[in-house]
Amino acid sequence: MLHAQSNRDPDDLQRRGFWSIFEQSRIPMALVDRNRRYVSVNDAVIELYQYPRGEVLGRVAGHSAMDEEPATGDEQWEELVRTDELYGERVVAHANGTPMEVSYAAHATTVGDRWLALIVTLSARFTPDGSELLRPAVVGHRNGTQSKLTDREREVVRLVALGSSTRRIAADLGLSFETIRTHVRNAMAKTGAHTRAQLVALVLGDGLIED
């Protein structure tokens, strides 16, 4: 398994479990610094987009965009830096040259003392009429609720962040399918997330779950 690369604060990251989940998750995730450059991507990103890791790290986020002028990308980045969150859709170039429509959620986080943007791919499909490569996503905004997740909700969301299905989580925890769905719905309501992948971006970015 290829591991994400970045500077780490061992004590802080061990407490939050951030890197364990980031690296192991089957949900595509990337970290971008204030200079708008990729500092880390997980294996799911490499699997989806097919760019070599060495070609991604250090590149400007959005370099593969095919649907916007540079000024538009700059405006979106400024919004993310200003509000600490951004949800949207764009067309990017897959490594094989095929246009790919993606939906994404970006949420600011602090790793050690470093501001970083956690970007999670919510959905992806080849255009114009390609099949969905990930779970379909509804892109929306947080409702501002800052309610604390319960221990069980954090446990369930951690497994969601690792890419486990509802049935797998129910089996692993010895709970019913409906109970797990309820925990996920409650966590989404408390964070304002509209999809599971958006939920992951929010709870990881805010440090609400531990390893």
Is position 88 within any domain? yes
Range of the domain at 26: 10-205
Are 100 and 92 within 8 A, CB to CB? yes
Quote the CA–CA distance of 104 and 29 in Å, as a whole number.
Answer: 10
Is position 68 within any domain? yes
pLDDT tens for each residue of 71-87: 777 888 899 899 888 88
The residue whose two tokens read 């962040």 is: 161
Are 37 and 60 within 8 A, CB to CB? yes
Is position 29 within any domain? yes
Quote the CA–CA distance of 7 and 1 in Å, as a whole number.
Answer: 19
Give the bridge partners for 93, in sequence order. Answer: 99
For residue 184 the two structure tokens come to 């996920």
Q: What is the mean pLDDT of the chain?
A: 80
Is position 101 within any domain? yes
Quote the CA–CA distance of 84 and 197 in Å, as a whole number.
Answer: 17
What are the DSSP E strand ranges found in the chain?
A: 29-32, 38-41, 85-93, 99-111, 114-126
Confidence of residue 27 (pLDDT cuts 50, 70, 90): confident
Is position 163 within any domain? yes
Task: Find the radius of gyration of the CA atoms of the chain.
Answer: 17
Is position 3 within any domain? no
Is position 119 within any domain? yes
| Helix count and strand count (H, E) for the chain | 9, 5
Are 30 and 105 within 8 A, CB to CB? no
pLDDT tens for each residue of 154-196: 889 888 888 788 899 999 999 999 999 999 999 988 887 877 7
Phi, psi (5° rounding) for residue 209? -130, 150
- Helix, strand, coil percentages (3-state) for the chain, rounded to 5, are 40, 20, 40
Q: Residue 20: give its domain's CATH number.
A: 3.30.450.20
Confidence of residue 130 (pLDDT cuts 50, 70, 90): confident
Is position 180 within any domain? yes
Residues in the chain, overall count: 211
For the chain, the domain total comes to 1
